[in-house]
Amino acid sequence: MKVGVVIFPGSNCDQDAVYAFQNQFGCETLTLWHKDNDLQGCDLIFLPGGFSYGDYLRSGAIARFSPIMQHVIEFASKGGVVFGVCNGFQILCESHLLPGALLHNAHQKFNCKNVFISAQTSNSAITSTIIPGTALKIPIAHGEGKYYCDDPTLASLKANDQILFRYCDEQGNITDEANPNGSLENIAGICNEKRNVFGMMPHPERAVDADLYNTDGRLLFESLLSMAVSR
């Protein structure tokens, strides 16, 4: 699988994603510059975390207008797989590739720590090998990660099985205390209706290297890669 990691000015998790895909999972990985007009034949587009264009407006609000994003949007509309983490998730929401929005954390502070999330469905390219309900330890690092959408959108997310991850405690219980940012119904990650665009606030790429003593994030990557193989 050929992976393209998009670099916006202000992206800062791009090299972490490259390291994960390339060094940890052996994928051919290249970087795509925000001013580029070509996805270079990538099978998977990854939008990394960071502060694209400084994120002085709403996070991700400027990035959606960059040249590369027009191609990413077109790629996604044709069924191409797009995965956004943190700022990448924010950009996907701003681009309307995913429903809803990411608001300022309920406590109004940037927050970086390990949290637990549990998969809500196995029916997606990033959760296909994960047993729903199992708590995975994955770090978060964001100031604007409170997922919000209106009631009809929430209803359709549920009806279409689009909620991929919810924040939970170490035992897998979905509780208010386990919700680190005030996200609606503890939502940590979702996909689109066509199930080819994925977004989540926690950083699975920060939990793949055994040298850092937490590899829970490998499951998402292994799922992605197994889908690619079975295709």
Task: Indicate which residues carry an active-site annotation.
Answer: 86, 203, 205
Residue closer to another protein by CB (options 48, 80) is 48
Among 28, 38, 77, 110, binds another protein (CB under 8 A): 110
Tokens found for residue 132: 């729903």
Reference 187, options 168, 171, 169; nearest CA is 168
Q: How many angstroms separate the CA atoms of 158 and 162, rounded?
A: 6
In terms of Cβ atoms closer than 10 Å to its own Cβ (0-12, 13-18, 19+), residue 222 is: middle
Q: At which residue do the structure tokens 């959760």 appear? A: 127
Listed in sequence order, the residues at least 6 apart from 224 whose beta carbon sits closer than 8 Å to its beta carbon are 1, 44, 81, 83, 125, 126
Residue closer to another protein by CB (options 103, 141) is 141
User: Left if phi > 0, otherwise alpha if psi is -120 to 50, otherwise beta: which for 108?
Assistant: left
Q: Is 205 in the site for another protein (CB under 8 A)?
A: yes
Residue closer to another protein by CB (options 64, 206) is 206
Q: Is 178 in the site for another protein (CB under 8 A)?
A: no
Encoded one letter per residue, x for contact with another protein by CB under 8 A and - for no contact, window 52-81 reads -xxxx-------------------------
- Least gap, CB of 39 to another protein (angstroms): 19
Residue closer to another protein by CB (options 161, 209) is 209
**Cα–Cα distance list, 121 to 21, 69, 137 (Å):** 23, 28, 17
3-state secondary structure of 191: strand
Among 9, 132, 172, 182, binds another protein (CB under 8 A): 9
Near another protein by CB under 8 A, which window of 38-46, 71-79, 157-165, 200-208? 200-208
The DSSP element (H or E) to which 84 belongs, if any, is: strand 81-85
Q: Is 13 in the site for another protein (CB under 8 A)?
A: yes
Residue closer to another protein by CB (options 20, 191) is 20
Return residues touching another protein (CB under 8 A): 9-10, 12-13, 15-16, 19-20, 23, 35, 49-51, 53-56, 107, 109-114, 139, 141, 143, 203, 205-206, 208-209, 211-214
